[in-house]
Structure 1
């Protein structure tokens, strides 16, 4: 994990276009310590890591989650969590569940005939979604714009406002959602 943490800290610095000197000035950590840290020659103390997290604008828990072990490459059908809301007629399967080392996830949704689900706000403002209708037809409203989708259609957007999923038809609708965190 120390090696992955060293690599991630170097990546964060490079992503911002900062030299080691710039990061040293912003963090109050010597250039030589930062260099040794990024090369994996030393392990950071909690205080040092706290300073770097503050400079990079992320909580320590998120930084550490980013360097956890790699997610499994295969998620078997048996390992995919399924949640049912019998009241609304919605079934959600987590096909590719979230993992701290990944920015996206894949969800399969099924809406029974007549199902109507509305969300006042997005869970994360600017959340990117790609919704691909696999079977049936669905009406999706995102950011105030309504879309009628049929099997094979794909709707893509970043969600800043409310959303609504409605199945007006006599048959269930099944769709896949690719969710990408900003």
Structure 2
């Protein structure tokens, strides 16, 4: 009696087609989450706008040559772009990002609420300039003394203290002395765009770029 062929699992071609089809929507979501237009992304990557549009729409096949600059601009590993299955390794690929003198260390994968370790060095002579943006922010002081200006209030937080606030309220974060402050920070998509957008744009009240 001949053995019956097992057809219950996905064929390599079906799996490959499914992976490739999911790349376009994933690229569109990353671009929109970072607040970028196709023209801005084209300028950042050197990939023409028409090709980017076709990639997102699924009519252009993604290649390594196209995905590498996109992964770099979006600050994500390639496996995030192609939706590669998790290998069981829970570790996060830590890639620090420096913006306006502040260092953000990502502690979570892209999507949803973002967790970062934030390092704020002292800036002698810099005047606090509170600013606002969409969303919320939660922070926990790991080391140093944090000076938090929130609306009309000024607070000093020490290691082990936490704060949560609506970022529509004018706010500013910085060291209360001459030591770098280390924080654990959580923010949503709007906060990610405000702090880590690929192309920095002045926000309301951000004359010196300080948080």
Q: Return the TM-score normalized by structure 2.
A: 0.42
Higher strand share: 1
Q: Return the TM-score normalized by structure 1.
A: 0.48
